[in-house]
Amino acid sequence: MAIRCWVALGIAMMGPMPVIRAAPPIVIAHRGASAYLPEHTLPAKALAVGQGADFVEQDVVASRDGVPVVLHDIHLDGVSDVAERFPGRARADGRFYCADFTLAELRLLSIVERFHHRDGRQIYPGRFPKDEGRLTLATLEEELRFLAGLSRALGRPVGIYPEIKQPAFHRRHGHDLSRLVLDVLARAGHATRADRCYVQCFDPAEVRRIRHELGWQGNLVQLVGGDAADLVAGDGLARIADVADGLGPALDLVVGPDGRTTDLVARAHAAGLVVHPWTARRDDLPRWAGSFDELMERLGAAGVDGVFTDFPDLAVAWRARQPDDGGGR
């Protein structure tokens, strides 16, 4: 049975009801404090840690010369000035791909608040202004060293939560992204289940490969989107638990679009998996949630072990208001 770092007893239910748990959910900063500063920049990560996040997420892709860099996806044109800096470098589909640029070229880019690559409109208009400041991209190794420094300075541990993005795409471009990421993690001392590190990926075959072929001994999480609910149906959770320690489901798989709580958390716990759903946002609430606190209440009542959020400060504040059951963390 997979090892669980935080234990919670989930109760299958059709609506909110009390749940017995040993600790309140951990707070995972989704791409950093991305509600306040451009995602996956070091300032966004520092703010997240300052706001009390327990873990900080790193989405990882590879540069043309095979360096793992922290970036949400394989495209550059929705979070940077690549179209202005390198005109003519788009592919036939009009997109600019990280895999087409060396690390030296990537370092020339300004990283900005996420926007629609076709018309330049910000995805979240109320967030950090797209045209303000000049922030830059970091390699995975640089970010891990940065977070280790923050942890030392603050005198408290800061967990890391890297995601391996589109491994099949990277293999087609000559890079084994999983191996590259695991090598960086091992050098940084994040290679066992005792370490405050979870490796996550959407690709079930790659999750299995990471555990068996690449021999990863650390914590491993299977991500599941709302359009892939079949992965957690039937004996799907048992198959996941054969290789993974946790499940990272979309919010709708925990509390459906109709506001009714599913039995997913209870079934995942029965299989020995921790559950860390994504993503809690104050400015993009589910239809059934009237506030961020209501969203957190429902997820907490469902028995989740952690929550990915763009607003780590709000999640930490909500958690601080919960009754202390003495379990601690």
Asked if the model's pLDDT at residue 48 lies above 60, the reply is yes
253/324: higher pLDDT = 253
Asked if the model's pLDDT at residue 148 lies above 90, the reply is yes
pLDDT score for 23: 76
Query: Domain segments of the chain: what residues?
Result: 26-74+137-320
With bands split at pLDDT 50, 70 and 90, how would you rate the model's confidence at 327?
very low
Whether 212 is catalytic is no
Contact 30, 290 (CB under 8 A): no
Q: What is the average per-residue pLDDT within 269-275?
A: 98
Dihedral angle, C-alpha 243, 245, 248, 253, nearest 10 °: 80
pLDDT digits (tens, 9 = 90+) for 253-269: 999 999 999 999 999 99
Q: What is the average per-residue pLDDT within 280-303?
A: 97
Question: Which of 3-7, 137-141, 251-255, 297-301 is predicted with the least confidence, judged by mean pLDDT?
Answer: 3-7
* Bond into 279 cis (ω within 30): yes
Q: Determine the length of the chain.
A: 329
Q: Are strands 55-62 and 68-70 parallel, antiparallel or unpaired?
A: antiparallel
Question: How high is the mean pLDDT of the chain?
Answer: 92
pLDDT score for 140: 98
What percent of the chain stands above pLDDT 90? 89
Q: How many CB atoms lie within 10 A of CB 186?
A: 14
Q: Are strands 55-62 and 159-164 parallel, antiparallel or unpaired?
A: parallel
Asked if the model's pLDDT at residue 11 lies above 60, the reply is no
**Among 222, 196, 218, residue whose Cα is nearest residue 278:** 222
Bridge partner list, 162: 58
- Rounded-to-integer distance, Cα 275 and Cα 223, Å: 10
Q: What is the average per-residue pLDDT within 163-180?
A: 98
Contact 274, 4 (CB under 8 A): yes
pLDDT digits (tens, 9 = 90+) for 179-238: 999 999 999 999 999 999 999 999 999 999 999 999 999 999 999 999 999 999 999 999
- Rounded-to-integer distance, Cα 30 and Cα 223, Å: 14
pLDDT digits (tens, 9 = 90+) for 122-142: 999 999 999 887 899 999 999
- Rounded-to-integer distance, Cα 178 and Cα 174, Å: 12
Contact 161, 127 (CB under 8 A): no
- From 30, 40, 170, 276, active-site residue: 30
Contact 137, 71 (CB under 8 A): yes
pLDDT score for 301: 96
- Rounded-to-integer distance, Cα 61 and Cα 201, Å: 12
Q: What is the average per-residue pLDDT within 288-314?
A: 98
- From 40, 72, 117, 170, active-site residue: 72
Write out the DSSP string of 195-261: SSBEEEES-HHHHHHHHHTS--BSEEEEEE-GGGGGGGSTTHHHHHHTT-SEEEEBHHHHB-TTS-B
4/215: higher pLDDT = 215
With bands split at pLDDT 50, 70 and 90, how would you rate the model's confidence at 325?
low
Whether 72 is catalytic is yes
Contact 308, 280 (CB under 8 A): yes
DSSP 25: P
Q: What is the average per-residue pLDDT within 164-184?
A: 98
pLDDT score for 197: 98
Query: Going by CATH, does the domain composed of 26-74+137-320 fall within 3.20.20.190?
Result: yes
